[in-house]
């Protein structure tokens, strides 16, 4: 389900395998998921919350040279950091290259998924709603890949007395263009890529931009001032953790998103704790209760498209019986052991699925077990790391580095 980056690569692999058949249910009328920019915020014409949280000026925060699927690269172009339209075009070209269009049911929303427990390996009953006619249908599948995206339902942090604030409060999911903040004093809360990008865009329009975050390790332009996180609220200002009072007109929450699977019936066995931990997922992806269900793209702080591709290739090997998973009890034990290790290492709960540097080992492990290690290019890590350093050193300009900068790293690394 879902025709974003994850769903499309899933459908391609299914279509390419003569033993498999499948389709996508997609609630919008387009492929591309969050990369299909929509001016509007709020609900769409069918009353469904707008899925895409892309903003008008969005460019990728990873160089396109490492962003593509394992064996389907982005076309050459002048820039490494491309805009949302160019990413969308990549998906459109992908769909036509693999002739996927006929297998995607658009404006078809999955409203319920439940295991059909006739034997040990359940089939899945999926209920969909055709948003144009409002009619519902029932479908049965041997397996389901959940590719609904994890950047749509906002996470609202707990800030004391937030209601007391008389100014405007936005979440970045509803941010589209900076001009509506002209002349205003804006506090941007967060330290992720969106908080950084949006602060930089806003600085051209707002009278004042204050970035409120825990570890401002980015070298932000001078016109953006940095404060520690806000902890309490007054009518026209916020108090920060270090006791400063910061006056402002707008609070822009770049506080991220929560995992959300409203269509999974409780029988599926999946729970989401505090919006940040999906349980019980073997290798952060396979439903340990019913291993014919895959939840794609749960890890974050990763290079997403190649990892989706890796997860799906691995899962299909399992489905076809070419790779055997441990028993349910063993999978549950491994999940519990990982939880324990995170506790011992004092990993914050909301980082349960945060990978960062761990992604490379994870990718290699899956690829090795499933027999496609030759598709993993070690150079990707080098470019990813190098791009990360540039992002921190010069967040206002790194996206405009000429692609040669990236290419040179690529070529140098490739030749050892």
Three-class DSSP category at 169: strand
Region 311-340 residues binding ligand FAD, contact defined as CB under 6 A: none
Residues binding ligand FAD: number (CB under 6 A): 33
Phi and psi, residue 344, nearest 5°: -60, -35
**Residue whose token pair is 């980015």:** 218
Phi and psi, residue 103, nearest 5°: -105, 10
Pattern 197-216, ligand FAD, x by CB under 6 A: --------------------
Least distance in angstroms from the C-beta of 94 to ligand FAD = 12
194 touching ligand FAD, by CB under 6 A = yes
Evaluate whether 128 touches 110 at the Cβ level (below 8 Å): yes
263 touching ligand FAD, by CB under 6 A = yes
Q: How far apart are CA 246 and CA 135, in angstroms?
A: 51
Region 393-412 residues binding ligand FAD, contact defined as CB under 6 A: none
Three-class DSSP category at 179: helix
Smaller CB separation from ligand FAD, 28 or 199: 28
33 touching ligand FAD, by CB under 6 A = yes
Region 9-28 residues binding ligand FAD, contact defined as CB under 6 A: 25-28
148 touching ligand FAD, by CB under 6 A = yes
Least distance in angstroms from the C-beta of 26 to ligand FAD = 5
Q: How far apart are CA 69 and CA 92, in angstroms?
A: 14
Q: How far apart are CA 27 and CA 108, in angstroms?
A: 5
Of 142-150, 228-236, 311-319, 363-371, the segment contacting ligand FAD by CB under 6 A is 142-150
4 touching ligand FAD, by CB under 6 A = yes
Three-class DSSP category at 161: coil
Nearest partner of 314 among 12, 67, 20, 10, judged by Cα: 10
Smaller CB separation from ligand FAD, 35 or 277: 35
Determine which helix (DSSP H) or strand (DSSP E) holds 318, and give its type and residue range.
helix 304-319
**Residue whose token pair is 């066995």:** 269
Q: Strand 245-247 relative to strand 237-240: parallel, antiparallel, unpaired?
A: antiparallel
Evaluate whether 190 touches 254 at the Cβ level (below 8 Å): yes
Interface residue with ligand FAD among 7, 122, 178, 190 (CB under 6 A) is 7
Smaller CB separation from ligand FAD, 256 or 291: 256
Region 36-55 residues binding ligand FAD, contact defined as CB under 6 A: 51, 53-54
Smaller CB separation from ligand FAD, 171 or 185: 171
355 touching ligand FAD, by CB under 6 A = no
109 touching ligand FAD, by CB under 6 A = yes
Pattern 57-76, ligand FAD, x by CB under 6 A: -x-xxx----x---------
Q: How far apart are CA 67 and CA 219, in angstroms?
A: 24
Determine which helix (DSSP H) or strand (DSSP E) holds 208, and give its type and residue range.
strand 208-212
Residue ranges that bind ligand FAD, judged by CB under 6 A:
1-7, 25-28, 33-35, 51, 53-54, 58, 60-62, 67, 109-110, 147-149, 151, 194, 263, 297, 304-305
């Amino acid at each position: 389900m879902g025709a974003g980056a994850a769903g499309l690569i899933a459908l391609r692999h299914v279509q390419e395998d003569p033993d498999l058949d499948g389709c996508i249910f997609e609630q919008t009328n387009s492929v591309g998921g969050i990369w299909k920019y929509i001016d509007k915020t709020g609900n769409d014409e069918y009353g469904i919350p707008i899925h895409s949280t892309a903003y008008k000026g969005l460019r990728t925060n990873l160089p396109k040279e490492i962003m593509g699927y394992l064996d389907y690269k982005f076309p050459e172009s002048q820039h490494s950091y491309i805009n949302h339209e160019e990413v969308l075009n990549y998906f459109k070209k992908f769909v036509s290259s693999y002739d996927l269009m006929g297998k995607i049911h658009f404006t078809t929303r999955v409203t319920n998924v439940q295991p059909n427990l006739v034997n040990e390996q359940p089939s899945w009953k999926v209920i969909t709603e055709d948003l144009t006619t409002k009619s519902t249908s029932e479908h049965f599948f041997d397996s389901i890949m959940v590719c609904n995206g994890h950047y749509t339902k906002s996470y609202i942090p707990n800030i004391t007395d937030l209601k007391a604030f008389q100014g405007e409060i936005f979440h970045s999911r509803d941010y589209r263009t900076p001009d509506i903040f002209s002349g205003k004093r804006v506090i941007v809360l967060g330290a992720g890529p969106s908080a950084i990008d949006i602060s930089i865009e806003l600085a051209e329009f707002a009278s004042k931009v204050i970035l409120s975050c825990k570890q401002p390790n980015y070298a932000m332009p001078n016109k953006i001032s940095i404060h520690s996180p806000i902890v309490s609220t007054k009518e026209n200002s916020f108090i920060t953790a270090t006791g400063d009072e910061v006056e402002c007109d707008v609070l822009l929450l770049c506080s991220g998103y929560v995992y959300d699977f409203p269509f999974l019936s409780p029988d599926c066995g999946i729970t989401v704790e505090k919006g940040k931990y999906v349980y019980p997922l073997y290798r952060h992806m396979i439903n340990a209760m019913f291993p014919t269900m895959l939840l794609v793209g749960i890890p974050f702080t990763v290079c997403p498209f190649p990892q989706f591709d890796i997860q799906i290739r691995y899962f299909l090997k399992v489905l076809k019986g070419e790779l055997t998973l441990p028993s349910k009890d063993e999978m549950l034990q491994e999940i519990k052991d990982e939880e324990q290790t995170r506790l011992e290492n004092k990993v914050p709960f909301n980082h349960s699925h945060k990978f960062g540097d761990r992604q490379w080992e994870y990718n290699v492990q899956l690829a090795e077990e499933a027999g496609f290690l030759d598709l993993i290019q070690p150079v990707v890590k080098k470019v990813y790391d190098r791009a990360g350093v540039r992002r921190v050193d010069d967040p206002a300009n790194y996206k405009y580095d000429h692609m040669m900068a990236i290419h040179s790293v690529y070529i140098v690394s490739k030749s050892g």
